[in-house]
Structure 1
Amino acid sequence: MAEQLPLLIFQTIMGCLGICGNCLVCVVIIKVHFMHTITNAFIFNQALIDFLGSLVLLLSSVIPIPDLLPPGAGGVILCRLWVSRFFLWGLFCASTYNLLALTLERYLAIVFPFKYQRFATLTNVILAVMCVWICGFVFNLYSVFINYSENLECKRKSLKHPEILVISMNVIVYFIPMTVMLVVYIHITLVLKKGAARLGPAPAVQPSGSGGGAINDQRESLMRARRNTFKTLLIVFIAFTVCWTPNVVIYSLFYLGVAVDFSSAIYLITVAMVAANGCLNPFIYAIKYKQFRKALKTLFGRQNQIPENSLATPTNPG
């Protein structure tokens, strides 16, 4: 349709930006040693998911779906896995749950630092990442079963109460994770404010031979690093919420009986916002995440030493 041509062009551009930007994030985290932290492991997974999501989005935008499916198993697979957008929505769902895992990791590190030391292990990180991927695709398996191939056409089964399925999925893959993240970010904000108040302003002059100044400097440095990481992830969360909420709300209203024009400019804009989300995070990291900016300089030869305030060890609670 002619009115969807600008959307397809926009999705193509966002797909290309998402592929390049998220690929850069992955390379930086792999190549730069001081980026090998627990937090950055989840950021790497987020970039990997968004990279694949941008790739699938690009392919779905530039490769038209054929009017007639190929005969045999090929047509069935194409219908159930590609036409149904199982991979695309599975990756979008995995992105949500990885953002939730990343938020909870920061919550443990900041609010319960001693417990974090026990739980922040490589095994637990691998298990969390595996759960993210499994949840992303398991929660979207319904699309594989409600789509079927018949007479070389991809059709969708008629459900008796489709609104129950759609609303349930929106609650599971969007509203519950968003609510949990919102509550967690509010709590982290309060904890960081209390920590800053307890730390207080550094004294102008330290007693001769006292180690208090060095200790205070370390605590203040750690607090700054925590605040910077927290603010970066908060911006990522806000961007995700802004990009996804309008589309989720429109779909929910439609299945609750509200008339929705899916060819209207408003709806197409909400789809474009969803497409844009996959390429935003690299720009957020480049602008806001100090450790990532230092890693970029290191990778491209502008800074050859590990920065003093980087969180170089995976067990660091900051």
Structure 2
Amino acid sequence: MNATDEHNEEPNEHKWVCQIMVAEGVIGVLGNLLVCYVILRVKFLHNMTNYLLVNLAVADMLLCLQVFLYYLTSDCKLIDFSRFGNSVRDLFCRLLSSKFLGWVLSYASAYNLCVVTLERYIAIVHPLRYARKLTTARIVTLIVLMWVISFLISLPIIFTIEPSNNPNKICSIKYPHPLFPILLSIFTFLFGYLLPLTLMSLAYYKMQVTLKRQAKALKLQHARAAAYDLVIARQNLVSMLRTVLGALIVLWTVDYFAILLCFQQTDKAQFLFCGSTGYHYTRVFANSLFNFNSVINPIIYEFKYKKFRQGLKVAFFSCFKRHGGNRVDFAMFINFGAQSSP
């Protein structure tokens, strides 16, 4: 029995899985939309790092939206695609049921974080080369290239599933070759998980060492408070980004190791247990953790990113600061945030 047949026999499980995933999707879309709104609206948050965080939030928001649509149409059965024509069913199977869109957006999320890490790495470890190496044109090129690569390396997933001739199933898993799922799982593990996370971990280690050395040198030289405060602000930003990376590692690890064993939940995969009930529950749990990573980033910004907290107050409470003497205080608050941005 494959995983799809098991799903048809477990409506109660469908119900709670659907509710959890749909809730994650809604919260993730709203949270990442809030990040985009705050950063784009508040002037002192307008810098390269925060613009890259907006791009990361867009990738996470689209991933949450994909999760919302997928579980509404598959587990919640809001739309019965079995009643549609072959072309609509084919699109549903190859884009949503295969999780092609989900993989594109998860690659984009990981690679977006890589671009953020690269920007901070050059700014901290090679500050004299920053203006020359990271021009606006190069950053835009990097972002476009990252999205194109995420799309291209996810294309093989389209060929792992197709519309089913069975009236009880909409889609069926079909591999072009027995080695295809093995190669795909290894490729996905290496390029979606191991390589980007390893490179980012090494970069953050190097940044932390550099910042500690700079702070120690400034303290010994009794440098001006503004210079020392700038280093501390950069340390805090790197600490926040390390927390984002740590959350990604914790929440993605179970799913990626499960994928390394079995790319999809079917007995046609690498091992016989890939279509078992136990493995199915493991993947449900792992998928829930994986999707939660796109929900948690706005929460991390709120607790770990001081400038974002200030921006949140400015964005939503500015109307209360525009009356009487508070208008001057509000202007001073904005100027302070702009001057002290790392």
TM-score (norm 2): 0.81
**How far off is 1:250 after superposition?**
1.8
The verdict on how the C-alpha distance between 1:267 and 1:154 changes in structure 2, with shifts beyond 3 A counting, is closer
State whether structure 2 residue 264 is matched by structure 1 residue 245.
no
- Counterparts in 2 of 1:106 and 1:258: CA distance versus 1, 3 Å: farther
Is the Cα–Cα contact under 8 Å of residues 43 and 338 in structure 2 kept in the other structure?
Answer: no
| Counterpart-to-counterpart distance in 1, 2:285 and 2:162 | 30
What is the count of residue pairs matched by the alignment? 302
User: What is the root-mean-square deviation in Å for CA atoms of aligned residues?
Assistant: 2.2
Q: 1:38 Cα shift?
A: 0.6
Answering whether residue 56 of structure 2 is matched by residue 46 of structure 1, we say yes
State which of 179, 182, 188 in structure 1 corresponds to 2:207. 188
More helix by percentage: 2
CA 1:292/1:249 → structure 2, altered by over 3 Å: closer, same or farther?
A: same
Structure 1 residues 4 and 72, CA gap change in structure 2 (3 angstroms): closer
Among 107, 122, 127, the residue aligned to 1:93: 107
The aligned amino acid for 1:127 is T
Structure 1: gaps (5+ residues): 204-214
**Which among 35, 38, 56 is matched to residue 66 of structure 2?**
56
The residue identity in structure 1 corresponding to 2:129 is: K
Cα distance, 1:114–1:62 mapped onto 2, change above 3 Å: same
Q: Percent identity?
A: 29
Pair 98,310 (structure 1): closer, same or farther in 2 beyond 3 Å: same
Contact kept? 1:36, 1:312, Cα under 8 Å: no
Tell me which moved more, 59-68 or 43-52: 59-68
Aligned match of 1:227: 235
Gaps of 5+ in 2: 1-9, 264-269, 322-329
- What TM-score, normalized by structure 1, do the two folds share? 0.87
What code does the residue aligned with 2:186 have? I
Alpha carbons of 1:197 and 1:312: their partners in 2 closer, same or farther (altered >3 Å)? closer
Quote the Cα distance in structure 2 between the aligned partners of 1:110 and 1:190: 10
Alpha-carbon separation, structure 1, partners of 2:151 and 2:106: 9
8 Å CA contact 1:28–1:295 kept in 2: the answer is: yes
**By how many angstroms is 1:4 displaced?**
4.2
SS at match of 2:85: coil
Q: What do residues 76-106 of structure 1 show as CA deviations (whole Å, max 9, x unaligned)?
A: 2222212222112211111011011111111
CA 1:194 to 1:28, structure 2 compared with 1: closer, same or farther past 3 Å? same
Structure 1 CA distance for aligned equivalents of residues 23 and 339 of structure 2: 34
- Aligned 1:1-318 pairs, distance under 5 A: 1=10, 2-64=12-74, 66=80, 68=82, 70-149=84-163, 151=165, 153-158=170-175, 159-161=177-179, 162-200=181-219, 203=222, 216-254=224-262, 257=271, 259=273, 261-264=278-281, 266-300=282-316, 301=318, 303-304=330-331, 305-308=333-336, 310=338, 318=342
